[in-house]
Amino acid sequence: MVTPHLAYPALALSNIEHKVTYVAEQTISPESVEQGWILPELTGRRVVYMVSLNSISELFDSAFPDSIHIFQEVSRNVKVSFVQNQLQDTGLRQWVIIQTIDYGGLIGLIKRLKYQMIFRTQSKLLWGVLAIGH
């Protein structure tokens, strides 16, 4: 989904002369707008909506060797995993943006274990992590 969490970094990168392609499955949801999320204007930036694994495969052919690919959250989502594996196979850099995680209680323990597992298995895929929140 197109969100401020990635739209603003994409905008900032493009403002300093980087070519930016924003890939998402959908635009911002009505629920997010109701919560007060505001997107910057992405006019002039390439926005691609990923509707299938084939549609995303086509983007790899046009990716620059020095490109940086930023993902929102770490996930076992089939499409995200596919993209991350494709990027790893081509040697392209990946970063992930994650929000502050509430580690309280049993659910917090489960989240902590889940994230530890994901980072251990995907550590060779990631060049960096950008943590946002408080």
Number of independent structural domains in the chain:
1
Residues in the chain where the model's pLDDT stays below 70: 44, 74-76, 125, 133-134
Please, are residues 9 and 3 in contact by the beta-carbon 8 Å criterion?
no
Q: What is the pTM assigned to this prediction?
A: 0.67
**DSSP states of 7-19:** HHHHHHHHHTT--
Report the CATH number at residue 32: 3.40.50
Under 8 Å between Cβ of 37 and 7 = no
pLDDT at 106: 92
The boundaries of the domain holding residue 73 are 4-132
Q: Give pLDDT tens digits for 23-37.
A: 777 788 899 889 998
Question: 């980087």: which residue's tokens?
Answer: 18
Averaged pLDDT of the chain:
78
* Nearby residues of 24 by Cβ (< 8 Å), 6 or more positions away: 1, 2, 47, 48, 49, 50
Question: 2, 39 in Cβ contact below 8 A?
Answer: yes
